[in-house]
Amino acid sequence: MTKSGLIEEVAKRTPHISKKDTEVVVNTIFDAMIEALRSGDRIEIRGFGSFQVKIREARDGRNPKTGEPVHISAKRTPFFKVGKELKEMVDRGPVRPASAESEPDTVTGETATG
């Protein structure tokens, strides 16, 4: 799902709010989350998961193409930890991934859509 897909879904579920206002709400939520992470706060959404910033220390690595040593600077990286409820809900979903619908079955050679 993309950001525009999320806006579409929220707009469908809230017909009393215009699509433009829905876009403002979704953007405001994302902006607030970004600002919280920038300032070092942890975000916890019960039943969904939590976001926090992890600090990756500076280290020496190698350029995989040339093998030449490269210094990698320290950086702050957003990290998401899935919540137990979300994990369980996803696990109860369909057994076949959505992309497998058009792939041929390994036994019959037929696709899931016909």
Q: Residue 44: CB partners within 8 Å, gap ≥ 6?
A: 50
Q: In this model, does residue 109 exceed pLDDT 90?
A: no
Q: Of 41, 73, 71, whose CA–CA distance to 56 is shortest? A: 73
Q: Regarding the domain delimited by 3-94, which CATH topology (the fold level of the hierarchy) does it fall under?
A: HU Protein; Chain A (4.10.520)
DSSP secondary-structure letter at 100? G
Domains of the chain, by residue range, sit at 3-94
Q: Is the pLDDT of residue 24 over 70?
A: yes
Query: What is the structure's pLDDT at 107?
Result: 52
pLDDT in tens, 44-75: 999 999 999 999 999 999 999 999 999 999 99
* Per-residue pLDDT at 95: 72
